[in-house]
Amino acid sequence: MADPMKGTPLEAFELPDEVFGLGAAELAYLLSRHETPAGERSRRLLMLDPRAAEDAALLAGASSLASRGWFTVKDDGSGETRSNAALVEYAVGAATRWTRIGLVGENVSQLDFAILVESDTVIALMQPRQLASWFIRLGERDGDTGALVTGLVRERFAANPEAGVFLEVQTLDGSSNLAIRRSGSGFEALADVAGPGTGTGGVVDGGGLQGAVSALYAEAVNA
């Protein structure tokens, strides 16, 4: 399909199989290319506000993208993103849903997180790294976000059974959450957590875990 924001032909770019990185200036430049409610929400969740960046920093981001072959300047002087950058720009600028995945270790000092950004066609799993850079994995939106996120939760517990996971799903209309930790051979899954001792739910098995996660995505979002 064509990118309605910048006219970039998304069908011309294959989704990469590998994880790749974007620096702070590169991502800030992509976020600066359009003003949409979705773009504003993405900026807030990714903790990058290009409006506060100096023009020189945004130029550095565009220059870095150009050096990768991911940005070109057309004959009329307008810029156009290419390849991975075009896909990321579309995902964050046309997103309809965001999932913040809080990954908590055995103590709160081990808190880490990732953000799953969903547009109508492209999804981006983004995890912050050193110096405000981001690791990104792109994929197609197939409609089964609950299964995808459940898989990420299972991977976390396989790596560290003592870990906890906090999911917060946001749309432009509202948000919901789910706190998960291991409990014996099952999982404790509590929805609508507002603080210690709050939330509804209980201990579930593997199938119940996917059901609890999928319930966060039961409401359709406008593409």
Q: For 67-100, what is each residue's pLDDT tens digit?
A: 999 999 999 988 999 999 999 999 999 999 999 9
**Sequence-ordered strand ranges (E) for the chain:** 20-22, 71-73, 79-81, 97-104, 112-118, 122-128, 134-140, 164-171, 174-183, 186-191, 200-204
Residues 6+ apart with CB under 8 A from 105: 111, 112, 160, 162, 163
Residue 141 in contact with residue 118, Cβ under 8 Å?
yes
- Per-residue pLDDT band for 3 (boundaries 50, 70, 90) equals very low
Token representation of residue 63: 């220059």
Q: For the chain, which residues make up each domain, given as ranges?
A: 10-93, 97-215
pLDDT at 5 over 80: no
Residues 6+ apart with CB under 8 A from 126: 46, 114, 115, 116, 117, 134, 135, 136
With b for 16 or more beta-carbon neighbours within 10 A and e for fewer, the 82-102 pattern comes to: bbbbbbbbbbbbbbbbbbbbe
Give tens-digit pLDDT for 167-221.
999 999 999 999 999 999 999 999 999 988 898 999 999 999 999 999 999 987 7
Q: How many CB atoms lie within 10 A of CB 131?
A: 7
State how far Cα 18 lies from the chain centre. Answer: 16
- Give me Rg for the CA atoms of the chain: 18
